[in-house]
Amino acid sequence: MSTSNLCKNFCQRLAYVFFFGMLTLGSVGVSAQTAERTSCIVQAESLQAARNAVIQAGGAIANDLKIIRAVNAYLTAEQRAALERMPGVKVRVNQPANATVAVNHADQPVPTTDYAPSIR
């Protein structure tokens, strides 16, 4: 075998080892990062305080909710627990709001909601 063929074979084997090694490492990293995350509303004294708290806990911010000084974030159970221990921070699991219509005594429709009273 010539030197160029030996080098070519060596480089191919090295590439295979590297490629499959990266696949193995990548799958370990993915399984560690795929802990179930839940969409939550994190509220604090200010929008920036809510953002900082989520970042400190390691959560992922989806968007800002400026009106209620909160952020929508994706959190693991451990991250939610860490945020719940922080003073001045409220955490609520984000659930779909269901609107219904009731009728008052004057037979007029009155909109109602099951939106969490603590967020209002």
pLDDT single digits (tens) 41-77: 999 999 999 999 999 999 999 999 999 999 999 999 9
Phi, psi torsion values for 101, nearest 5 degrees: -120, 125
109 pLDDT more than 50: yes
Say which amino acid occupies 102: A
107 pLDDT more than 60: yes
Element (H, E) at 38: strand 38-43
Query: Tokens 């609520």 identify what position?
Result: 92
Averaged pLDDT for residues 16-37: 52
DSSP secondary structure letter of residue 108? -
pTM: 0.56
